Amino acid sequence: MISNLEYYRNFYWVANLHNFTKASEKLCVSQSAVSQSIKKLEAEIGCPLFDRSGKDLKLTAEGERLFLHVRRAIEEFEVGENQVSQLSSLRTGELQIGATETTIRYFLGPWLKSFKKDNPSIRVTFKGATTSELCSLLNEGTIEIAFLISPIPQAFNFNLELIDEVADIPVVSSDFGMNTKPEYSPSELLQYPLITVSEENAVRDVLNKWFWQDNAMLIPDFTVNNMSLVLPLVKDGLGVGILPEVYVKEELKNGSLVQLKTKNLPQKRMLYAATNPGISLSATGKAFLSHCIKKL
C-alpha cells in the first residue's frame, strides 16, 4: 500500500491533463510538489509511470494499467463526497424512527408535516412498537430516534430529550348515568366500574401509585393490554376509564365524554425523544429533532 494516497490524486490529474503545470493548477499546489509526488509514487511502485521523452507526457504500459484502477477509485471518492454533501445539506437521505402508538396517533403528524415541508426529499420510515421493543431497536441501531413515553425501562441508558407531557385523566360516557360530584378522590372512583390497562403495561404502575397515595388499591372491572382499547369501552358506557387527555380531546369537546374532576391526577408521564449515545446522530436526525422539541 502506498504510504501517501495524495500521490494517487496527483497521478490521476497528471495522467488526465498530460501536463505537470496544468495538473498543479487544477490541484492548487506547486508544479514542483506534483512532480515530486509522481517521482515518489514511481519509486514506491518500482517502475516509471510516464514516458517523458516527448513534448506531452504519456503513460507507460504500467501507468496505463494503474490509471484504470486509480480512475475508478477517484470517481468513487467523488460520488461518496457528493452523497455525503447532499446528506449533510438534507438534499437527500432517509430517517429511521420509532414511536409508541400514542405518539404516532397524537404527536407525530404535525412534526412530520413540518419536517417534510422543509425537507421534501428526505424519506421517513417509522416503526410502531411498544416501549420495550423500541428500546431494543434503538439499542441495536435499527432506528435513529425512539419516541418513548415514561416510564422507560431502567436497563437502557439513552440520551433523552424532553418533548412534551402526557396527562392521564378519568373520563366517563355522558350517558353512563353517574351522579357526578364536583370532585372525586381516587378511592371514590372504586365505587364505579373501572376500565384500564393490565399489569403488563408500564402505564399501570403510574395508575397504581395514584390509588396507593389515597390508601386504595386499583382493582379494575375491565382490563385491556393496550391503552387505546380503553376508549371504545368507555364510549360504550361500561365504566370509568383513565386515559391520556390527548386521546379524548374531541369527545370532551363534543360532550360525548365527561372528565371526572379529582383532587389530583396521576403523575404526568413524559414524552422523550431517545437517542443512542453510542451512535452519532445524522444531520437528518438532528434536523427532525428540531421540529419536535417543545420548550415546556
Q: Both 274 and 161 in a single domain?
A: yes
The amino acid at residue 14 is: V
Return d(Cα 27, Cα 34) in angstroms, integer: 9
Question: Mean pLDDT throughout 51-66?
Answer: 83
pLDDT at residue 257, rounded to an integer: 94
Q: CA of 125: how far to CAs of 91, 93, 128, in Å?
A: 17, 11, 10
DSSP state of 226: S
Q: Both 177 and 98 in a single domain?
A: no
Which residue is listed with cell 437517542? 275
Domain boundary among 88, 110, 127: 88
What is the number of structural domains in the chain? 3
Q: Both 172 and 262 in a single domain?
A: yes
Q: Is the pLDDT of residue 86 over 60?
A: no
Q: Which helix (H) or strand (E) holds 203?
A: helix 203-212
Q: Both 203 and 248 in a single domain?
A: yes
The cell numbers describing 12, all together, are 490521476
Q: To 5 degrees, how large is the angle CA 124–CA 274–CA 85?
A: 45
Backbone angles phi, psi at 133, to 5 degrees: -70, -40
Q: Is the pLDDT of residue 87 over 70?
A: no
Q: Both 61 and 21 in a single domain?
A: yes
In a domain, 1, yes or no: no
Q: Both 119 and 75 in a single domain?
A: no
Return d(Cα 103, Cα 121) in angstroms, integer: 24
pLDDT at residue 88, rounded to an integer: 53
pLDDT in tens, 99-156: 988 888 888 888 888 888 877 877 888 888 888 889 989 988 888 899 998 888 777 8
Which of 75-79, 178-182, 264-268 holds the top average pLDDT? Answer: 264-268
pLDDT in tens, 233-262: 999 999 999 999 999 999 999 999 999 999
In a domain, 275, yes or no: yes
Listed residue (182, 240, 161) closest to 207, CA to CA: 240
Q: Is the pLDDT of residue 296 over 50?
A: no
| DSSP string for residues in 64-80 | HHHHHHHHHHHHHHHHH
Question: Mean pLDDT throughout 81-103?
Answer: 68
CA 27 to chain centre: 39
Q: Which helix (H) or strand (E) holds 23?
A: helix 20-27
Contact 169, 186 (CB under 8 A): no
Percentage of residues in the chain with pLDDT exceeding 90? 31
Q: Both 159 and 285 in a single domain?
A: yes
Taking the alpha carbons of 172, 178, 182, 187 in that order, is the dihedral positive or negative? Answer: negative
In a domain, 187, yes or no: yes
In a domain, 253, yes or no: yes
Q: Is the pLDDT of residue 295 over 70?
A: no
Q: Both 187 and 210 in a single domain?
A: yes
For the chain, what is the mean pLDDT? 85
Return d(Cα 270, Cα 158) in angstroms, integer: 14
Q: Is the pLDDT of residue 9 over 70?
A: yes
The cell numbers describing 154, all together, are 431502567
User: b/e for 34-44, b at 16 or more Cβ within 10 A?
Assistant: bbebbeebbee
CATH classification of the domain holding 260: 3.40.190.10
Q: Both 138 and 21 in a single domain?
A: no
Percentage of residues in the chain with pLDDT exceeding 70? 92
Q: Is the pLDDT of residue 21 over 90?
A: no
Question: Mean pLDDT throughout 80-90?
Answer: 55
In a domain, 39, yes or no: yes
pLDDT at residue 146, rounded to an integer: 92
Domain that holds residue 70: 6-88
Listed residue (242, 94, 108, 120) closest to 163, CA to CA: 108
pLDDT at residue 166, rounded to an integer: 92
